[in-house]
Amino acid sequence: MDENDGTIEIQHFDGTLDETEPEGWIAMRAEAAEAPEDWSGSVDISAEDIPGTRHAVIRDWQSEMELADETRSRITESE
């Protein structure tokens, strides 16, 4: 509910946003529902990006950056 303009904001599963007046909300006759099993559609994220999923690849980006810095330092020292 946006109290400033009196509308109700709705986020659809695909992430799109809508807003409606309270009268429109009542006319929709919205019903409570279970959360979707695949909630990732609402945040535009793939299964590979979610730790614990079958295809997840967990990377330690800090270590990767440290390795790049060390490599750069060695190259600079040898020049």
| Beta-ladder partners of 12 | none
The predicted structure's pLDDT at residue 29:
87
pTM over 0.75: no
Residues of the chain with pLDDT > 70, as a percent, come to 62
Q: Which residue type, as a one-letter code, is found at position 57? A: V
Question: Quick check: 63 pLDDT over 80?
Answer: no
| Rounded Cα–Cα distance for residues 70 and 74 (Å) | 6
The predicted structure's pLDDT at residue 10:
87
